[in-house]
């Protein structure tokens, strides 16, 4: 590749090569004095890398003046390793770039003295300066590529480690295995995690900017039939506006905060609540507000059995009568066996209407209402089957069961009063 080197005498390279060893020593000494990041003793891999980088750059420059080809794979590996070394030291490229600039100035001053002794013309001194700084630009570009490559490799390795950690959390791995995987993933193992279940078909987002990126510490499983997230320290992350923006319109249901070993349970509970919703919510739903629902959803067959047993007195009524008396009984239980005015206030009806319905409820259920266990089972059954669900959207609950002894027969009509 043609460059400013072409304008210099080929035999000038021998005079430059004679300066190479002492010039390398001077450059390294000045870099250590002027760039704080390189002021430590040049020992081990760090020192060897700096020494080799300076000596290779000087040797290559003299080769270019001699008319030899552009840097080959060996030189490029040296320069790229300098960039990789900066990433491994946890630094940006600022210090290395400062060292390059300083080294180029020192080399130019030395080479200019040699050129004046040789008697090079002023135009050739200008060419020499261009050659020095063109060469350092090539060295710097190679080191930047090494830095970028190292960062890409690190991101890939970190991504694989976090994917494995995600899988171990959902598999309920033992604490020692989790702790080791978390260290490899650079993911401080938190006291609590919370899973977030996402709808595979997100609710339509309103017009506006694209969704925000998730915070770095969130573990995500998005390319699966049931996408989800795992949030470390959920109390902190759920207050992060970036997470709130990313979850908006994703049909998100946030599971309970649990120890890491129970992450799979948090996700299971979040999915149960999400499956019970009539449509994907725009705003995230927090399972902490749905613990009673979760209790009912975890064993629907058992809840069904309780309903069949405890709600049998309502079975012979018409659907409209059943709904009214079931709502009245639930309101009475949830107000702590409240008075007719308290029940009326909860249902938004007239106290006299509430009184009449309560009278009917007590007539149907009788002495069973005196038992605390029966009242608990009644509330479970009513919450599971109530179409009102305390103002929430109705769940896909079945109608109240009708035991065989209460099923209608031809010519037999249920009572018409409440």
Asked if residue 392 and residue 329 are part of one domain, the reply reads yes
Domain final position from 246, 266, 297:
297
Domain final position from 236, 270, 297:
297
pLDDT category at 396 given cuts 50, 70, 90 is: very low
Q: Let me know if residue 185 belongs to a domain.
A: no
pLDDT category at 406 given cuts 50, 70, 90 is: very low
pLDDT category at 132 given cuts 50, 70, 90 is: very high
Q: Let me know if residue 208 belongs to a domain.
A: no
Q: Let me know if residue 255 belongs to a domain.
A: yes
Q: Let me know if residue 87 belongs to a domain.
A: yes
| Percent of the chain residues past pLDDT 90, beyond the cut | 51
What domain range is 327 assigned to?
A: 312-406
Q: Let me know if residue 162 belongs to a domain.
A: no
**Amino acid 205: pLDDT:** 53
Q: How far is CA 288 from CA 37, 234, 330, in A?
A: 50, 12, 22
Asked if residue 322 and residue 270 are part of one domain, the reply reads no
Q: Let me know if residue 209 belongs to a domain.
A: no
Answer with the residue of higher pLDDT: 213 or 127. Answer: 127
- Residues in CB range of 64: below 8 A, 6 or more apart: 3, 5, 70, 131, 135
Q: Which two tokens stand for residue 231?
A: 């949030």
Asked if residue 394 and residue 272 are part of one domain, the reply reads no
CATH number of the domain where residue 93 is located: 1.10.490
Number of domains in the chain: 3
Q: Let me know if residue 115 belongs to a domain.
A: yes
pLDDT category at 263 given cuts 50, 70, 90 is: very high
pLDDT value at 68 more than 90: no
Q: Quote the strand ranges of 202-241, DSSP E.
A: 219-221, 228-232
pLDDT value at 403 more than 80: no
**Amino acid 356: pLDDT:** 95
Please choose, from the candidates 76, 19, 18, 17, the residue with its C-alpha nearest in 3D space to the C-alpha of residue 52.
76
Q: Can you tell me the distance from the alpha carbon of 230 to that of 217, in angstroms, rounded to the nearest whole number?
A: 9
**Amino acid 212: pLDDT:** 60
Please choose, from the candidates 361, 375, 366, the residue with its C-alpha nearest in 3D space to the C-alpha of residue 418.
361
DSSP 294-340: HHHHS-HHHHHHHHHHHTGGGTTS-HHHHHHHHHHHHHHHHTTS--H
- The number of C-alpha atoms within 13 Å of 1 and in the hemisphere containing its C-beta is 8
Q: Let me know if residue 130 belongs to a domain.
A: yes
Q: In degrees rounded to 5, what are phi and psi of residue 193?
A: -130, 160
Q: Which two tokens stand for residue 300?
A: 């629907």
Asked if residue 105 and residue 30 are part of one domain, the reply reads yes
What are residue 195's DSSP bridge partners? 230
Mean pLDDT of the chain: 84
Domain final position from 297, 320, 350:
297
Asked if residue 197 and residue 125 are part of one domain, the reply reads no
Whether the CB-CB separation of 24 and 58 falls below 8 Å is answered with yes
pLDDT value at 389 more than 80: no
């Amino acid at each position: 590749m043609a460059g400013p080197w072409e304008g210099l005498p080929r035999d000038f390279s021998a005079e430059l090569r004679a300066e190479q060893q002492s010039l390398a020593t001077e450059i390294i000494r000045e870099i250590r004095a002027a760039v704080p990041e390189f002021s430590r003793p040049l020992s081990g891999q760090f020192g060897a890398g700096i020494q080799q980088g300076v000596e290779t750059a000087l040797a290559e420059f003299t080769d270019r003046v001699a008319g030899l080809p552009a840097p080959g794979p060996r030189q490029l590996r040296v320069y790229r390793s300098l960039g990789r070394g900066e990433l491994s030291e946890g630094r940006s490229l600022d210090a290395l770039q400062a060292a390059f600039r300083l080294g180029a100035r020192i080399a130019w001053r030395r080479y200019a003295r040699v050129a004046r002794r040789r008697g090079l013309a002023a135009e050739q001194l200008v060419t020499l300066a261009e050659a020095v700084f063109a060469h350092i630009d090539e060295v710097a570009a190679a080191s930047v590529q090494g830095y970028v490559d190292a960062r890409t490799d690190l991101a890939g390795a970190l991504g694989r480690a976090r994917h494995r950690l995600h899988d171990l959390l959902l598999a309920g791995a033992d604490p020692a295995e989790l702790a080791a995987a978390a260290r490899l993933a650079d993911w401080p193992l938190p006291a609590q995690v919370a899973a977030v279940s996402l709808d595979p078909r997100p609710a339509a987002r309103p017009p506006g900017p694209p969704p925000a990126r998730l915070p770095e510490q969130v573990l995500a499983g998005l390319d699966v039939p049931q996408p989800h997230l795992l949030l470390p320290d959920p109390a902190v992350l759920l207050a992060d506006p970036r997470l709130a923006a990313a979850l908006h319109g994703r049909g998100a249901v946030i599971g309970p905060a649990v120890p890491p070993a129970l992450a799979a349970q948090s996700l299971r509970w979040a999915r149960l609540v999400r499956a019970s919703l009539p449509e994907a919510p725009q705003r995230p739903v927090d399972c902490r507000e749905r613990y009673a629902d979760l209790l009912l959803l975890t064993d629907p067959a058992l809840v069904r059995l309780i309903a069949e047993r405890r709600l049998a007195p309502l079975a012979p009524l018409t659907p409209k009568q059943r709904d009214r008396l079931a709502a009245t009984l639930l309101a009475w239980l949830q107000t702590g066996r409240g008075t007719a005015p308290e029940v009326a206030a909860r249902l938004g009806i007239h106290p006299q209407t509430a009184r009449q319905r309560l009278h009917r409820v007590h007539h149907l259920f009788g002495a069973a209402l005196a038992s605390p266990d029966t009242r608990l089972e009644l509330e479970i059954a009513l919450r599971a089957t109530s179409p009102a669900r305390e103002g929430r959207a109705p769940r896909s609950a079945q109608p109240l069961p009708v035991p065989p002894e209460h099923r209608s027969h031809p010519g037999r009509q249920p009572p018409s009063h409440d």
